[in-house]
Amino acid sequence: MLNRTPVVIRSVSPLQGHEGTIVTLQGSGFARHIRNNCVVIGGMGACARAEPHSTDTELKVRIGPVARETAGDLLMWPGVGGELFTEEISYGNTRLHLSEAAVFRNGAPVAAAGIHFKLDKASPDTYSGAFEKSARGQVQLGGQETAPVMRVAFPKGFSAGRHKKVDVCVVLKEPTLAVDISASIAGKSGDDEECLRAVAKAISLNAGLMGERVFADVGTNAQTGELELYITKPYLENGMVTIHFS
């Protein structure tokens, strides 16, 4: 059953931070199961994961990877999260071993804190998505190729092969859906496109466990030669994506 209790955010402290900063929300209506609280911070600049020992009136969250310095409101909702996730995903010679995955659906309307929160420092090797009217390249998105998408461009020189872990946070609106994944990267291949395709597969499969249709694919930009990851779902109106390699 969906939790329809509206969230009220009375205060947020501090009002500035970066990856790893603990932010405290005071209010009411937060989900008692901490992983069922989805928080997006700094004008949809980064996700923030709920910390242990939070309550329905005080929610502590840790800011995740930040792709770029930005500022804006804090948004959150208590959702319905999935406890099950696909533990290993393979694409070619690349394997992702998932240590955590959470999928959130709206359990109540999204609440805005009405504040100006500043993300003051970008995290290394972190890439963000841009909302666009349709995919630019030849990608397969389950019949949604001409619908709005989130596009993440990886610059020339990008190398997934030198990293051992990837964190992904995807928020797609409306209705709001979030997929939050942490995984270690294994395999003999140093193929960057193959690694990104494994990430795309992880997003789609884990959303599917909650009965959500999310499509993701990887292509190469014909003009720039950059690898691009596209993500969409039916009725997509806006969203955010951060992908962090470490």
Kindly report the CATH number assigned to the domain that includes residue 34. 2.60.40.10
Residues 150 and 226 in one domain: yes
Residues 170 and 72 in one domain: no
pLDDT at 81: 62
pLDDT at 1: 42
166 found inside a domain: yes
Q: Quick check: 119 pLDDT over 80? A: yes
Q: Quick check: 161 pLDDT over 80? A: no
171 found inside a domain: yes
- Encoded tokens for 31: 């989900």
Residues 108, 40 contacting (CB under 8 angstroms): no
Residues 65 and 145 in one domain: no
Q: Quick check: 61 pLDDT over 70? A: yes
Residues 170 and 189 in one domain: yes
pLDDT at 230: 97
Residues 170 and 234 in one domain: yes
pLDDT band at 53 (very low <50, low <70, confident <90, very high): confident
The mean per-residue pLDDT over the stretch 137-160 comes to: 91
223 found inside a domain: yes
Q: Quick check: 2 pLDDT over 60? A: no
Residues 71 and 101 in one domain: no
Domain hosting 60: range is: 8-79
pLDDT at 232: 97
Amino acid (1-letter code) at residue 45: G
113 found inside a domain: no
Q: Tokens 């619908």: give the residue.
A: 147
Domain tally, the chain: 2
117 found inside a domain: no
DSSP output for 143-204: T-TTS-EEEEEE-TT--STT-SEEEEEEEEETTTEEEEEEEEEESS---HHHHHHHHHHHHH
